Amino acid sequence: MIVDIAWWDLPESGIGLERLRADLTERRLRQWREVEGLSAKLWLADPRRGRWGAVMLWDRPPDPELLPPNRALELIGAAPTHRVRFDVAAVVRGR
C-alpha cells in the first residue's frame, strides 16, 4: 500500500479555495470512485495558509494513464508545490 500527498500553496496562484471546492462535483468524485486500486482520496483545504491538496491511499501503484484529469492542476495552472509518496507501514481503521 502506498500514499501520495500533494498540495499547492495558493496565495500567488490567483485562485481561491472556494473555486477549488466548487469543482468537487458529484461527477468529479465519481470519476475518482471508479479508479482501480484507489482505497481512498481526501481533498484538503487550509484556509489559514492558503493551501489546497489531496491525500490518496493506494492498494497498489496507480497507472497514470488511467487517472482522471487533475482538475486542481488545470484550475491553478501549475504543478503542486509539494508532492511526496510513501510506502504505508500500517493502517488502522476506526469503528
Cβ-based neighbours of 72, under 8 Å, separated by 6 or more: 8, 20, 23, 52, 53, 54, 80
Query: Across-strand partners of 8?
Result: 52
Integer Cα distance of 33 and 6 in angstroms: 19
Q: Model confidence over 11-61: pLDDT tens digits?
A: 777 889 999 999 999 999 999 999 999 999 999 999 999 999 999 999 999
Largest CA distance in the chain: 40
Q: Which amino acid is at 20?
A: L
Considering the segment(s) 2-87 as one domain, its CATH architecture is 2-Layer Sandwich (3.30)
Q: Model confidence over 53-95: pLDDT tens digits?
A: 999 999 999 999 999 999 999 999 999 999 999 999 999 989 9
SS3 content of the chain, % helix, strand, coil (to 5): 25, 35, 45
Q: Model confidence over 13-25: pLDDT tens digits?
A: 788 999 999 999 9
